[in-house]
């Protein structure tokens, strides 16, 4: 069973690449972030032609998440139970579903903008709600994972130059502590270290030749419980999908399970 996560940075802009990637990789379940479309604009028909069902949480031009599955889609929960609001609304940043033998969450954690900003506090509160919401699933006996764009680099090794990020979001002790608390529900980072190459980043800024110079960050993560982690047979970042015209600024993270 192949499960992946990918911040597509607009499913409308990335649709031809997305469809080609799904067809070529044989992915069974894909978690998507930053759909940047309303739910009624999501390309359900094109995905159905490839055999995918879709659980979508999207409300407009910002944010938006989805779970695509070829192995079944049940017990869908749209939104983050108990999640905080920002500017009076609960943003579309989480959706979960049971896909075959596994329970899957697709999440797009708030960016935080800058330390001290109210969006930074919102980010930490969002992490608290996520940790509480996934605890029961994490403790269950079936494979379970939270996948997505966490907007946090877990360690200094996960950014191209720690000095560049000093004092900025994504690397602060508060954010990394929030990730550690989430892992404390019984989850682990399932990507092996070392991977097949050095510096396995998942995001590279479009500006200043970020990707050609490999000035990236590892912020797209897969956190699985013990049954999930024990079933992992391979895991990698698909850097090839970050190349070329029309690419997202994130690469897919792929995990193969022997279930």
Annotated binding-site members for Mg(2+): 7, 34, 149, 151, 249-250
Q: Binding site membership: which residues?
A: 7, 34, 149, 151, 249-250
> 149 catalytic, yes or no?
yes
Distance CA 102, CA 104 (A): 6
Q: What is the dihedral of CA 118, 105, 47, 252, to 10 degrees?
A: 80
Q: Which of 28, 137, 149, 220 is catalytic?
A: 149
Distance CA 214, CA 191 (A): 19
The string of DSSP codes covering 40-83 is GGS-HHHHHHTT-EEEEE-BSSS--EEEEESS--EEEEES-TTP
Retrieve residue 18's tokens.
């997305």
Q: Which of 28, 137, 236, 250 is catalytic?
A: 250
Distance CA 203, CA 224 (A): 21
Q: Which of 108, 122, 201, 236 is catalytic?
A: 108
Distance CA 224, CA 120 (A): 25
Distance CA 86, CA 80 (A): 13
Helix (H, G, I), strand (E, B) or coil at 190: coil
Adjacency order of strands within the sheet including 102-108 = 74-78, 94-99, 102-108, 144-149, 220-224, 188-189
> 108 catalytic, yes or no?
yes
> 52 catalytic, yes or no?
no
Backbone angles phi, psi at 253, to 5 degrees: -110, 125
Nearest to 152 by CA among 132, 182, 129, 118: 182
Supply the residues annotated as catalytic. Answer: 108, 149, 250
């Amino acid at each position: 069973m192949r499960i992946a996560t990918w911040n597509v940075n607009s499913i409308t802009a990335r649709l031809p690449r997305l469809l080609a990637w799904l067809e070529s990789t044989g992915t069974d379940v894909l978690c998507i972030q930053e759909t940047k479309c309303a739910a009624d604009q999501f390309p359900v028909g094109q995905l159905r032609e490839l055999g995918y069902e879709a659980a979508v949480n999207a409300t407009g031009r910002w944010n938006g998440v989805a779970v695509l599955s070829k192995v079944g889609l049940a017990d869908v929960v749209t939104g983050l139970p108990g999640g905080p609001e920002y500017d009076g609304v609960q943003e579309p940043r989480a959706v979960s579903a049971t896909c075959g033998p596994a329970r899957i969450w697709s999440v797009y954690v708030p960016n935080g903008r800058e330390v001290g900003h109210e969006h930074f506090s919102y980010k930490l509160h969002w992490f608290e709600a996520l940790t509480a919401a996934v605890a029961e699933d994490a403790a269950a006996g079936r494979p379970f994972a939270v996948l997505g764009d966490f907007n946090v680099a877990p360690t200094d090794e996960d950014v191209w130059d720690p000095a560049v990020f000093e004092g900025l979001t994504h690397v602060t002790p508060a954010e990394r502590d929030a990730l550690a608390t989430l892992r404390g529900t019984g989850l682990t980072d399932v990507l092996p270290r070392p991977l097949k190459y050095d510096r396995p980043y998942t995001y590279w800024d479009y500006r200043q030749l970020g990707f050609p110079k490999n000035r990236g960050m590892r912020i797209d993560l897969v956190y699985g419980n013990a049954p999930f982690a024990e079933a992992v047979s391979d895991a990698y970042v698909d850097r090839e999908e970050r190349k070329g015209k029309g690419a997202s600024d994130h690469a897919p993270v792929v995990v193969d399970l022997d279930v």
